[in-house]
C-alpha cells in the first residue's frame, strides 16, 4: 500500500531519547537544548549528494549526513505544502486541523486555527526564544491574523505563501538580470516580504532573501547565546520550489542549472547556520534537523528536482511525494555516520495524468520494491498477501471511524480583499500593491 496514512511527525522525533549518553559534566548545560528546524520546499529524496545525486553541490548537507543521522525512510504527512507544514508544527494529522484540501492562497479566508498548539507555543511556554524565517503557508487571514507571530513565534521574517502565488514574469530570479522562469500566478498581488505582521517589501526581491535570512538567523542565535536563553529557530527555506532563484553568490555556479543553484544556496544557508552555532559555542547543545515539506515537483521536469529511484513526486502519495530526505545533527548525542533505514519520470507522474484514487488500493512491498513498480495485486497474490490487504483495509476503516475532521480551512475559499497589500487603499488592485524596500 502507498504511504497515505503513514505519519511520523517531527515533533515526536524531536522528543526521541538521545542516541548517545551525555557526559555527566554536560548534562546540566544540555538540559534545555536548542532546536534548529530547517525545512526545504519541494526537495526530492534523490536531490542531495548524500542521497546519491551525482551532480548536486551540497557539501554542508553532506557533511551533516556524515557527522549525524541520515534517514532513509522518513515521511512527510502530506504531499503538498500547507498540510505538511501544519503537521510539522502541531504533530497532528492535518485533516484534524482542517488543512485540506490543497493549499492556502493569497486571499484565503482560513488558516491554521489559532487554537492549534504549535511546537513554538510549547517551547515558548518553557522559556524558549522562538523565531521563524522563510515561507509560512499556513494562512494570512485578515490583515495577517494567521501569521507565525500568532502561533508562538516571537519574531518572523518571511513570505506568507509560495513565491509563485503572485505574478513573477518581471522579477529577477538570478542576478544580474535573469528573469524568473514562467509567469507564476496572474491575478493576485505581488508576493510580499513581511516582518512580524508588517509588509516591508512588495514584490519581494527573491535573490535578496537568503542573505537577509542569514543575517536574521545569525543575530537571533548570537542574541540567544548572549542571554543564555534556549531557542527554537524554524528556517523554512523557499528552495527548491519553482521558480528557482539564488543570490549573486550562487547564480550560475553549479552543474544542475537553476535548480542546482537554488539547491546550492539552500546548502550554503545550512552551512551558515552551523557556523553561527559554532561561533557562539552552541553546536553541542543544539539539535539541527533538516527535511522537506514534500517531494519534488516532477511535473516541472528538470526544474522540479529528483525523487531518485522513488516513484513520482509532489502532489501524489507515491513514495516520491512523501518520502523525504531527512538529517539530524547533534554532536555528542547522535553518532556520526548513522543512518535510519526503513530517474526517469514515468507516465503516472506526468503533470497531465489525472490524480487517481485506487480502490482496491495498490499494494507494494516497500522493503523489496521502494520504487513501487510492482503492484502485488496484479498477478496472483498468495493468501498471506490477501490477508495483509484485509488487515490493512480493516485498520483503515477503524482509523476513519475514529478520525475527526476539522472544518476545512482551505474550503472557506478566497476573498481578494484579504490579499496582503502594502498600500491598502491603492487602486487598481492587485497591480498597485508595490512598495520600495524600507
Q: Which of 10, 81, 173, 422 is catalytic?
A: 81
Tell me: does residue 47 bind Mg ion (CB under 5 A).
no
Closer CB to Mg ion, 129 or 410, in the complex: 410
In the complex, least distance from residue 316 CB atom to Mg ion, rounded to whole angstroms: 13
Tell me: does residue 42 bind Mg ion (CB under 5 A).
yes
CA–CA gap between residue 362 and residue 259 (Å, rounded): 32
Q: Which of 53, 137, 163, 238 is catalytic?
A: 137
Closer CB to Mg ion, 283 or 319, in the complex: 319
Cell of 140: 494570512
Tell me: does residue 81 bind Mg ion (CB under 5 A).
yes
Nearest partner of 107 among 431, 420, 435, judged by Cα? 420
Q: Segment 154-173, which members bind Mg ion (CB under 5 A)?
A: none
Tell me: does residue 293 bind Mg ion (CB under 5 A).
yes
Tell me: does residue 116 bind Mg ion (CB under 5 A).
no
In the complex, least distance from residue 163 CB atom to Mg ion, rounded to whole angstroms: 11
User: Number of helices (H) and strands (E), helices first, in the chain?
Assistant: 10, 12
* Chain residue whose CB lies nearest Mg ion: 81
For this structure, is 53 an active site residue? Answer: no
| Total residues at interface with Mg ion (CB under 5 A) | 5
Name the segment binding Mg ion (CB under 5 A); options: 24-32, 79-87, 183-191, 196-204. 79-87
For 65, 90, 147, 247, 430, the CA distances from 138, given in Å and listed in that order, are 29, 12, 7, 26, 21
Nearest partner of 135 among 39, 20, 276, 270, judged by Cα? 39
User: Among 30, 41, 82, 259, which residue sits at the site for Mg ion (rule: CB under 5 A)?
Assistant: 41
Distance, C-alpha 207 to centroid of its chain? 19
CA–CA gap between residue 438 and residue 436 (Å, rounded): 6
Three-class SS string for 303-336? HCCCCCCCCCCCCCCCHHHHEEEEEEECCCCCCC
Closer CB to Mg ion, 265 or 283, in the complex: 265
Tell me: does residue 299 bind Mg ion (CB under 5 A).
no
For this structure, is 81 an active site residue? Answer: yes
Closer CB to Mg ion, 81 or 310, in the complex: 81
Closer CB to Mg ion, 43 or 328, in the complex: 43
Nearest partner of 428 among 201, 202, 204, 187, judged by Cα? 187
Closer CB to Mg ion, 141 or 296, in the complex: 296
Name the segment binding Mg ion (CB under 5 A); options: 77-85, 148-156, 265-273, 395-403. 77-85
Nearest partner of 156 among 164, 170, 146, 168, judged by Cα? 146
In the complex, least distance from residue 289 CB atom to Mg ion, rounded to whole angstroms: 17
* Cα 112–Cα 208–Cα 143 angle in degrees, nearest 5: 30
Catalytic residues: 81, 137
Contacts to Mg ion by CB under 5 A: 41-42, 81, 293-294
Amino acid at each position: 500500500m502507498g504511504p497515505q496514512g503513514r505519519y511520523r511527525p517531527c515533533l515526536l522525533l524531536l522528543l526521541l531519547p538521545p542516541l548517545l549518553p551525555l557526559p555527566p559534566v554536560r548534562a546540566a548545560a544540555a538540559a534545555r537544548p536548542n532546536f534548529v528546524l530547517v525545512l526545504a520546499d519541494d526537495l526530492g529524496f534523490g536531490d542531495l549528494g548524500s542521497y546519491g545525486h551525482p551532480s548536486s553541490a551540497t557539501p554542508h548537507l553532506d557533511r551533516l549526513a556524515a557527522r549525524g543521522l541520515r534517514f532513509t525512510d522518513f515521511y512527510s504527512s502530506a504531499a503538498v505544502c500547507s498540510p505538511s507544514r501544519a503537521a510539522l508544527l502541531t504533530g497532528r494529522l492535518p485533516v484534524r486541523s482542517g488543512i485540506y484540501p490543497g493549499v492556502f492562497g493569497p486571499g484565503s479566508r482560513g488558516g491554521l486555527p489559532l487554537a492549534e498548539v504549535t511546537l513554538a507555543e510549547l517551547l515558548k511556554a518553557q522559556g524558549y526564544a522562538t523565531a521563524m524565517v522563510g515561507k509560512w503557508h499556513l494562512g494570512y487571514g485578515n490583515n495577517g491574523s494567521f501569521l507565525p507571530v500568532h502561533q508562538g513565534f516571537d519574531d518572523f521574517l518571511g513570505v506568507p505563501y509560495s513565491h509563485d502565488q503572485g505574478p513573477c514574469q518581471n522579477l529577477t530570479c538570478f542576478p544580474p538580470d535573469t528573469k524568473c522562469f514562467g509567469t507564476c500566478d496572474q491575478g493576485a498581488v505581488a508576493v510580499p516580504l513581511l516582518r512580524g505582521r508588517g509588509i516591508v517589501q512588495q514584490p519581494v526581491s527573491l535573490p535578496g532573501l537568503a542573505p537577509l535570512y542569514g543575517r536574521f538567523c545569525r543575530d537571533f542565535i548570537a542574541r540567544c547565546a548572549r542571554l543564555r536563553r534556549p531557542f527554537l529557530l524554524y528556517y523554512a527555506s523557499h528552495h527548491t520550489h519553482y521558480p528557482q532563484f539564488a543570490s549573486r553568490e550562487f547564480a550560475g555556479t553549479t552543474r544542475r542549472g537553476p535548480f542546482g543553484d537554488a539547491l546550492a544556496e539552500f546548502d550554503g544557508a545550512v552551512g551558515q547556520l552551523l557556523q553561527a552555532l559554532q561561533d557562539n559555542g552552541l553546536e553541542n547543545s543544539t539539535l539541527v534537523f533538516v527535511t522537506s515539506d514534500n517531494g519534488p515537483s516532477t511535473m516541472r521536469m528538470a526544474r522540479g528536482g529528483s525523487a531518485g529511484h522513488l516513484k513520482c513526486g509532489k502532489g501524489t502519495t507515491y513514495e516520491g511525494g512523501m518520502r523525504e530526505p531527512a538529517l539530524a545533527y547533534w554532536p555528542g548525542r547522535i553518532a556520526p555516520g548513522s543512518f535510519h533505514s526503513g530517474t526517469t519520470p514515468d507516465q503516472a507522474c506526468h503533470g497531465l495524468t489525472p490524480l487517481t484514487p485506487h480502490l482496491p488500493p495498490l499494494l507494494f512491498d516497500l522493503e523489496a520494491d521502494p520504487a513501487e513498480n510492482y503492484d502485488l495485486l496484479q498477478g496472483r497474490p498468495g493468501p498471506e498477501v490477501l490477508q495483509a490487504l484485509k488487515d490493512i483495509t480493516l485498520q483503515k476503516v477503524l482509523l476513519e471511524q475514529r478520525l475527526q475532521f476539522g472544518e476545512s480551512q482551505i474550503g472557506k475559499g478566497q476573498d481578494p480583499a484579504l490579499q496582503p497589500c502594502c498600500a491598502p487603499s491603492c487602486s487598481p488592485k492587485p497591480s498597485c500593491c508595490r512598495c520600495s524596500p524600507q
